[in-house]
Amino acid sequence: MSKKIRIFYWCFFATVLITCFNLERNRLHMKVDANVRQVKVTTASTLTASSAHMRTPIDWRKSSETVSYPDLSKVKNFWIKVSLKQNRTYLYDGNKLIYTMYSTGGMYKKNPQTGKLESMTPTGTFYAQAERGTSFFNSSLNEGANYYVSWKDHGVYLFHSVPTKAGGAYNVKEADKLGKSTGSHGCIRLSIPDAKWMSANLPVGTKIVIEN
């Protein structure tokens, strides 16, 4: 075999190898791109699902979501996060959001020492307490509520329903703030069914994180 023929064969084999390498590399890139697209789609659907069942428009007479409340007997790491500015109360199992409630926290007032607006609802980490019941009335505020459970100072700061008047009727003007704006004197207001579920089911000692 002449030298020119050997060179031709070597060039031919080299070309074939390079072509095969490029085809395999392109196939791998396509597979990676497909996986990335799949991950993005899954993430988007997960985020959408977390708010897909929220009841709209907000109705303080009904549950915040259109699905059943979580079965806490099947929840391993239950805790609650309250966002005062978002007017939402989030129920978690570890890092997984399992239910969202419309809520209303404390009004913002100017701190005379700092000059900054601060919520009348304390922020930080608290734990659910034993004090709970079907109704109460605060004569000093001329306001009450139904279905309450304490999370600070043993009956001072509560989860409870939208407020009631002296005669027991709901204060519609205040109730309509639910999920839209602040309005309480420090407690966390919930819809009537949400408050009833919370009062009946919130285990003593449950961690509650309240943030602005």
Please list the active-site residues: 160, 187
Q: Which of 201, 97, 111 is nearest to 159 (CA)?
A: 201
Contact 120, 126 (CB under 8 A): no
**Contacts of 83 by beta carbon, 8 Å cutoff, 6+ apart:** 89, 90, 211, 212
Cα torsion angle, 166, 169, 172, 176, sign: positive
Is the bond leading into 203 cis (omega within 30 degrees of zero)? no
Helix (H) or strand (E) holding 35: helix 3-49
What are the tokens at 204?
């003593």
Distance between CA atoms of 103 and 63, rounded to whole angstroms? Answer: 11
